[in-house]
Amino acid sequence: MPQGSIVKALSGYYYVLPEGAPLEEGNTVTCRGRGVFKNKKITPLVGDRVMYEETENGEGTVTEILPRTSELIRPPIANVNIVVLVFSVTEPVLNLQLLDKFLVHIEHTGIDVVLCFTKSDLLLEGSGDALPKEMTMSELDRITALYEAIGYPVVRTSSRRGVGVEAILHHLEGTISVFAGQSGVGKSSLLNKMIAGIDLETNEISQRLGRGKHTTRHVELLPLEGGGLVADTPGFSQLDFMEVEADGLGACFREFAAVAEGCRFRGCLHLHEPDCKVRIAAADGTIAASRYEHYLLFLAEIKDRKRRY
């Protein structure tokens, strides 16, 4: 029975690329999933390595999903090596709370992360009253230094000027990667610069709502010239913590790990416990105030979810 990988999922169909075939137009087999998947509440995902059988009409049926090395629920994709978190520095303004929430979800999966800050040219062009009041270049420098110190690679890009495109491609070479982030931050515009010959739909930011329109409506893997595959995904502005428990939240903040080893109590939630080294580090500035504040907000959200369910 042939093997392949799902490179696109749309309207109940799975587009399977046969093993060893280049990702080119006409090379995929259009498949349905076996009925048993629905009965067992199993959903094939883009990125899944699968077994399939061809049918008489030239299409096929996915018969088995091979073991996954990783899985993301939102965006729904499997076997990813790197997540590129794409956030604009303005229009919409960089939301650090949402950025940290994305990082928690990805750290929980163990997948590597690259941070991409788009639309950097808009800060350089602003002057006087035209400068976006929500963000300045010095503030962006501070934020960049903060996340690099934690251990996250940070790339600033401008799709309009072609800045940072090669740096992103270097990080993704030979990997299966996914772009994720809010709507309207420039994911599709950046991919259009990265991949010759594609023309993903883009939309301007809504000035009234302060966020973008959804231009990508499904998950699809696209080939990179240097080798590897990248997925564009629908943008979104909210996440919940259905998969993260309170006692595991601290482990999703990289800079907490070494400090937390000194806490008096095993399983310390870094909330009110005596001799909590994380709280001490947050108080003296070793851990950034914004990161600890977001940790507390997320912890409260998780506890509230537990009470409601």
Instruction: List, as residue ranges, the binding site.
Output: 118-121, 181-189, 263, 268, 270, 276
Longest Cα pair distance anywhere in the chain, in angstroms? 69
CA distances to 35, 61, 114, 243 from 256, rounded to whole Å, are 45, 46, 19, 20
Burial class (CB in 10 A: 0-12, 13-18, 19+), 69: middle
DSSP per residue, 79-112: S-SEEEEEEESTTTTP-HHHHHHHHHHHHHHT-E
Task: Give the residue from 211, 252, 240 showing the smallest Cα distance to 95.
Answer: 211
Residue type, 231: A
* Phi, psi for residue 71 in degrees, rounded to 5: -155, 130
Q: Which residues are annotated binding-site positions for Zn(2+)?
A: 263, 268, 270, 276
Q: Return all residues near 281 (Cβ < 8 A) that are at least 6 apart.
A: 259, 287
Of 144, 87, 147, nearest in space to 117 by CA: 87
Residue with tokens 């996440």: 239
Q: Indicate the annotated binding residues for GTP.
A: 118-121, 181-189
Give dist(CA 309, CA 304) in Å, integer.
Answer: 9
